[in-house]
Each structure stands twice: as C-alpha cells, then as structure tokens.
C-alpha cells in the first residue's frame, strides 16, 4: 500500500482550496485511483477531488476488512467495542464544525439544516447502536427428547463478516452512519462506498476512526461511482458477505442482480412516492406547517417526503393557500447566508430531471399554484443548482407526476370526499415507504395509520424518529427493516447450539 495521509481533507494546493479525498483502507489514506471532481451544488464550483477506487483498491479494502474481523476487531470484548463506538460519537461532536462544513460543501444544504439534523444524527447513530447491542438477549428453548430426556437450545449472535455499505447523497453522514454504526456494533468490518456526489464526511470519519483507536480495517472507505466502478466492484466482490444499500429502486435492482450469484444478505432502503392525508378535522395550521416542512426540507430530497397530498374537500382551498404562503416564504441561497432555509438540488443533472418533471406537470394538465421554474439568484449562488418550491393542483391520480418519484421540492395536492377514498388513493402506488396523516379524530388516526401500505405511518407529524423502531419500506421501497433490534438482526446471524442434557 502506497503513500498515506494523516489529513486527507487538507487542501491539495493551498491556493485553490480544493480538497483531496483519498480512499481509506486498513486504517490508512492510500494513494491511487482516478481523480474526479466533487462539486458544491450551491455554487457549481469544484471544492474537492476524490479518487475512484479501482479493482485493486477494492480488493485491498476487502482483505483489510477480513483481517480486522479475524484479528483484533473481531476478537474484541463487547465492552471495548461499545466504548470505541461511543468515542466515535464523541469525536464527531468534538469535530462538529468540520463535519458541518464538509457536509455543507458537498450538498449546499442550509447551515441550520446540517447543524440540527445531519451532523447530530451522525453522532446519535453510534450512541444508540452501542446501547442497543448491550441490551439484547438471544433465545433459549428447553425441549423434550424422544428418549424421554431433555435438551437445551440456545443461540449465539455472530457478525456476518465484511459488510458493504452503499449510501446516497441526500443525507450523507446520517444515512451512512445509520448503517455503519449497527454493523460495527455487531462486530462486522465495513467498507463504505459513499455517493460520488458527497464523499467528504465519510472520508472525515476515517480520520475519526484512527483518532479513537479503532483497529485498522474495521472501517474502510472506497470512493467512486456505481456501474463499472467502485460500487459495482464492491457488490461483486466474493469477500463481501452482506450489502446494505440506500438509494434509488432501480439501483437496488442492479445490486440484487450482481449480488445474486453469491447469495449475499441484502438490506435495501429505496425510493418512495409518499402520500399525506389531511382530514377536514385536522388542526389546519399544524398540517400546513408540518407538511410544508415535509415537502420542502432539504429541497425535497428526503426519501420520506410526501409528493402526493390528499386533502378533504371542505379544507382543500385553505390548505393550498397555506402551503403556497409557506413555499413563497422560503429563502433560497448560499448555505451560510443569513436567513437562508432553502438550498440547491444536488447536481445540474438532478436539476434537469426535476425541471423536466415541472414541464411534464404542465403537460399533464396541472395548475401551478406556485413555483415551476428556477429562482433568479445573484452572486455565487447564481451558478448553483436551484429550483423553485412548487405546488400543483388539478392533476389526476394517474398522472406520471403522481406515480413517479421526483425527489424535488414539489407536491401535487388532490381533493377527496371520504376516508375510504383517501386510503385507496394513498395506497395506489408501486412504492410504500412513508405516509403522514393529519386528523384530530383518535379512532381515525389509528384506523388510517394502520391501513397505509407503508413502512412508517406518521400521524400529526413527519420524520419524527425513534431509532429503536423498525424503519424500511414495503413494495418497491425496500427490503427488510433496520432500526433497534431490526438492524442487529440484519448485521448478525444466530448459531443455535443444541445440548442433549
């Protein structure tokens, strides 16, 4: 293994302030790999150069991870493993401003959002799974044997070995550590392939792992793209036992195909076309505040964001007027500028996709309540990948806008007349990740909440997370559940020991 870097995020050349992001393998930042640009979406400027891991670097990472599992990391006491994970959480907090700055540079998201959501959750993920792993029991069964005697069965939980973590760009540190923390809590070694758009905080986490004394190879980072690149090479490597993936549904399909010959364990958090239902008995101010946040947070780039909102007819106009006012009050701009609460989309490519959907909505007969284009911004933000927050009415349930995931700051608002109709419309989707129901009727809250074909139904709230609960999607929104014991069940497997007494 070649040159190592102790500070991979240092500027590559002091005059350009472009950072150099190396692959992190076996506890070292290694030289090599084809360089590629990492762009700040708020300004369109290149702010870092990452290095695409080739087949050799991927293989080195798998070997380093395997050695960690068979060595110090795999043989560590639970107490020590938990203490190290807690130290990782502490260190993320101690270096909070650096994580914040790196996340903002990669995503362009408003400072307040990264400050209150992304970075704190990065630390919280390590704390919660360090606790969860200490509090779990395994099953024991005493049985009668055919000869009239007894036998005792008990299970021990074992790590899977080497786990590949493939993560997306929308909440980079949050979604990556949501997988890394439970996988490591179980004693696995991980190889993370962060999104090519947002490699910085994952790289920084490599530094943190060394600072807390994590054994070399327990945490590795490979950079690059998906098909034909580091992502696919990781999935195809026979030494990787399991893959946990967050991203688009069609990418999940591709990963499944590549992983199939090796029968790898898979956990998928995929796309969504989430619904919200607003009943006439809802607290309207709360519904408007909650759902405008849900639709526009992170510029709509949250897999849980509702892009279809069904509203009971008597309150339809009031709801639409409230949402319009909220959308128009959002302030786009540079992440650190005063009062900015609305960032860019992740890339120019994604902006083109979202703007194509904005045009499609009009072609499909939508009334544009607000937005539908790009904002006029000045200064550095003029070159950022911004679009306007957008609300449509007048679309039919069968419009592509109401069926395909857009992943932008937009929603279609559609009226309904009965509870049964609302449930039917909300469930009429290929996806099933999340729903958000707004009502003051307690019976209806339970009834409709349970009728939703989704992994999580929020009532009078959205994206309120207890990390011990099951999280995941049904239909094309995913495979499996993570969170609390569900994560531990994925990242470990029991061996049953049967003792004839």
Residues annotated catalytic, as ranges: 269, 303
CB nearer to ligand 6OD: pick between 104 and 175: 175
Q: Is 468 in the site for ligand 6OD (CB under 6 A)?
A: no
Beta bridge partners of 390: 410
Using CA atoms, how far apart are residues 389 and 285, in angstroms rounded to an integer?
Answer: 19
Give min distance, CB of 170 to ligand 6OD, in A.
Answer: 5
CB nearer to ligand 6OD: pick between 43 and 249: 249
Number of residues that bind ligand NAD (CB under 6 A): 32
Q: Is 484 in the site for ligand NAD (CB under 6 A)?
A: no
Q: Is 267 in the site for ligand 6OD (CB under 6 A)?
A: no
**Angle at the Cα of 201 (from 241 to 184), degrees rounded to 5?**
35
Residues 384-423: x where in contact with ligand 6OD by CB under 6 A, - otherwise, as a string: ----------------------------------------
Q: Which residue is nearest to ligand 6OD (CB)?
A: 303
Q: At a CB cut-off of 8 Å and minimum separation 6, what does 258 contact? A: 232, 235, 236
- Distances from the Cα of 335 to the Cαs of 207, 274, 349, 485, in angstroms? 25, 27, 20, 36
Q: CB under 6 A: which stretch of 48-56, 99-107, 220-228, 302-310 binds ligand 6OD?
A: 302-310
Taking CB under 6 A as the criterion, the residue among 173, 276, 303, 327 binding ligand 6OD is 303
Using CA atoms, how far apart are residues 421 and 423, in angstroms rounded to an integer?
Answer: 5
The residues in 36-55 that bind ligand 6OD, with binding defined as CB under 6 A, are none
Rg (CA), the chain: 24
Q: Is 304 in the site for ligand 6OD (CB under 6 A)?
A: yes
Q: Is 107 in the site for ligand NAD (CB under 6 A)?
A: no
Q: CB under 6 A: which stretch of 38-46, 154-162, 229-237, 491-499 binds ligand NAD?
A: 229-237
465 binds, options ligand NAD, ligand 6OD, none, Cβ within 5 to 8 A by partner type: ligand 6OD
Taking CB under 6 A as the criterion, the residue among 25, 65, 171, 334 binding ligand 6OD is 171
Using CA atoms, how far apart are residues 321 and 486, in angstroms rounded to an integer?
Answer: 41
275 binds, options ligand 6OD, ligand NAD, none, Cβ within 5 to 8 A by partner type: none
227 binds, options ligand NAD, ligand 6OD, none, Cβ within 5 to 8 A by partner type: ligand NAD
Residue 263: CB atoms within 10 Å: 8
Tell which phi-psi region holds residue 324, choosing left (phi > 0), alpha (psi between -120 and 50) or beta: alpha
178 binds, options ligand 6OD, ligand NAD, none, Cβ within 5 to 8 A by partner type: ligand 6OD
Q: CB under 6 A: which stretch of 28-36, 168-176, 277-285, 325-333 binds ligand 6OD?
A: 168-176
Using CA atoms, how far apart are residues 493 and 155, in angstroms rounded to an integer?
Answer: 9
CB nearer to ligand NAD: pick between 215 and 247: 247
- Distances from the Cα of 479 to the Cαs of 237, 242, 256, in angstroms? 21, 13, 11
Give min distance, CB of 24 to ligand NAD, in A.
Answer: 16
Taking CB under 6 A as the criterion, the residue among 302, 311, 401, 411 binding ligand 6OD is 302
Using CA atoms, how far apart are residues 479 and 422, in angstroms rounded to an integer?
Answer: 26
Residue 70: CB atoms within 10 Å: 13
Taking CB under 6 A as the criterion, the residue among 26, 108, 168, 199 binding ligand NAD is 168
Q: Is 207 in the site for ligand NAD (CB under 6 A)?
A: no
What are 343's two structure tokens? 């960032």
Q: Is 202 in the site for ligand 6OD (CB under 6 A)?
A: no
CB nearer to ligand 6OD: pick between 43 and 301: 301
Q: Is 465 in the site for ligand 6OD (CB under 6 A)?
A: yes
430 half-sphere exposure, CB direction, 13 A CA radius: 11
- Are 426 and 310 within 8 A, CB to CB? yes
- Of 40, 19, 38, which Cα lies nearest the Cα of 343? 40
Residues 260-279: x where in contact with ligand NAD by CB under 6 A, - otherwise, as a string: ---------xxxx-------
- Are 369 and 328 within 8 A, CB to CB? no
Q: CB under 6 A: which stretch of 15-23, 134-142, 244-252, 306-314 binds ligand NAD?
A: 244-252
- Of 11, 268, 478, 170, which Cα lies nearest the Cα of 21? 11
Tell which phi-psi region holds residue 401, choosing left (phi > 0), alpha (psi between -120 and 50) or beta: alpha
Residues 310-339: x where in contact with ligand 6OD by CB under 6 A, - otherwise, as a string: ------------------------------
What are 261's two structure tokens? 């010959």
DSSP letter string over 345-397?
-S-HHHHHHHHHHHHHHHHTT-EEEE--S-----GGGGGS-----EEEES--T
Taking CB under 6 A as the criterion, the residue among 175, 288, 412, 451 binding ligand NAD is 175
Binding stretches for ligand NAD (CB under 6 A): 166-170, 175, 193, 195-196, 225-227, 231-232, 235, 246-248, 251, 254-255, 269-272, 303, 405, 407, 433, 473, 477-478
Binding stretches for ligand 6OD (CB under 6 A): 170-171, 175, 178, 269, 302-304, 465, 471
């Amino acid at each position: 293994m070649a040159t190592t870097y102790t500070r991979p995020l240092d500027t590559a050349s002091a005059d350009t302030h472009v950072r150099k992001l190396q692959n992190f393998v076996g506890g070292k930042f290694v030289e090599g790999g084809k360089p590629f640009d990492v762009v700040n979406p708020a300004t369109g400027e290149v702010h870092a150069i990452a290095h695409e891991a080739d087949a050799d670097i991927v293989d080195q990472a798998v070997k380093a991870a395997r050695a960690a599992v068979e060595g110090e990391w795999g043989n560590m006491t639970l107490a020590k493993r938990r203490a190290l994970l807690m130290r990782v959480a502490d260190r993320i907090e101690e270096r909070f401003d650096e994580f914040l700055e790196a996340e903002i540079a990669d995503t362009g998201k408003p400072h307040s959002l990264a400050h209150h959501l992304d970075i704190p959750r990065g630390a919280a993920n390590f704390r919660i799974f360090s606790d969860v792993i200490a509090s779990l029991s395994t099953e024991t069964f005493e049985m009668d044997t055919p000869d009239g005697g007894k036998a005792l069965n008990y299970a021990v939980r074992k790590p899977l070995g080497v786990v590949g973590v493939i993560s997306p760009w929308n909440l980079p540190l949050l979604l990556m550590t949501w997988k890394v923390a439970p996988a490591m809590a179980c004693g696995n070694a991980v190889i993370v392939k962060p999104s090519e758009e947002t490699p910085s905080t994952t790289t920084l986490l490599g530094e943190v792992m060394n600072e807390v004394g994590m054994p070399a190879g327990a945490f590795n980072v490979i950079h690059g793209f998906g098909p034909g690149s580091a992502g696919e090479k990781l999935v195809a490597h026979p030494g990787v036992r399991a893959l946990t993936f967050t991203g688009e549904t069609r990418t999940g399909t591709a990963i499944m195909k590549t992983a199939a010959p090796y029968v790898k364990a898979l956990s998928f958090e995929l796309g969504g076309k989430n619904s919200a239902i607003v009943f006439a008995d809802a607290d309207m101010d709360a519904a408007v505040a909650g759902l405008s946040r849900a639709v526009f947070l992170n510029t709509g780039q949250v897999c849980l964001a509702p892009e279809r909102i069904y509203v009971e007819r008597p309150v339809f106009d009031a709801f639409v007027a409230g949402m319009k006012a909220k959308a128009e009050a959002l302030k786009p701009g540079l992440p650190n500028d005063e009062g900015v609460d609305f960032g860019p989309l992740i890339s120019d490519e994604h902006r083109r996709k979202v703007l194509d959907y904005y045009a499609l909505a009009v072609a499909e007969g939508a009334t544009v309540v607000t937005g539908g284009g790009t904002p006029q911004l000045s200064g550095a933000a003029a070159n950022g990948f911004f679009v306007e927050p957008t609300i449509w009415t007048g679309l039919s349930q069968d419009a592509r806008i109401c069926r395909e995931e857009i992943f932008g700051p937009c929603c279609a608002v559609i009226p309904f007349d009965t509870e049964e109709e609302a449930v039917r419309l909300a469930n009429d989707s290929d996806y099933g990740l999340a729903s958000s129901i707004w009502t003051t009727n307690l019976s209806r809250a339970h009834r409709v909440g349970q009728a939703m074909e989704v992994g999580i139904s929020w009532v009078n709230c959205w994206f309120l997370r207890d990390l011990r609960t099951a999280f995941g999607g049904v239909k094309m929104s995913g495979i499996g559940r993570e969170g609390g014991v569900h994560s531990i069940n994925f990242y470990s497997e029991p061996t049953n020991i049967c003792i004839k007494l």
